[in-house]
Amino acid sequence: MTKRIDVENVVKAKETIEELVREGTHKEDIYVFSHETDLEDKMAEVFGTEEVGMKEQGVLNKIKNIFSKRGDELRDQFEALGLSEQSAREAEEVLDDGRLVIVVTSE
């Protein structure tokens, strides 16, 4: 089951991830998204969470996203992790507002 959690900032993301881990979620099943790729990469490194790669998206989608706008890339990544098209659009809007999105792929 895929679950989406919207948070206001990095501090809330850290608290949410720590709570998920305490509840038994593996960090390999947690993905943190930001509209800013540098921040997204840094959070994955610091929090020890995953980043969407070819395993999740497949080679063709990964290559396509090299030439896509960031919003399109994010929606593709959300859907690759199991979010519905509607939830992926909503998550991208959350990122547009400057907030962060956490996706948990299994519990």
Written in H, E and C, the secondary structure of the chain is CCEEEEECCHHHHHHHHHHHHHCCCCHHHEEEECCCHHHHHHHHHHHCCECCCHHHHCHHHHHHHHCCCHHHHHHHHHHHCCCCHHHHHHHHHHHHCCCEEEEECCC
List pLDDT tens digits, range 45-102. Answer: 888 887 765 455 555 555 554 555 777 889 988 999 999 999 999 999 999 999 999 9
What does the pLDDT read at residue 33? 94
d(CA 64, CA 93): 21
Average pLDDT of the residues in 6-21? 97
Q: How confident is the model at residue 14 (pLDDT cuts 50, 70, 90)?
A: very high
**Plot region of 101 (φ>0 → left; ψ -120 to 50 → alpha; else → beta):** beta
Confidence of residue 22 (pLDDT cuts 50, 70, 90): very high
Are the C-beta atoms of residues 29 and 52 closer than 8 Å to each other?
no
For 29-39, how does the pLDDT look when each residue is reduced to its tens digit (9 = 90+)?
999 999 888 88
Taking the model in full, what pTM does it have? 0.82
**When comparing pLDDT for 59 and 2, which is higher?**
2
pLDDT number for residue 100: 97
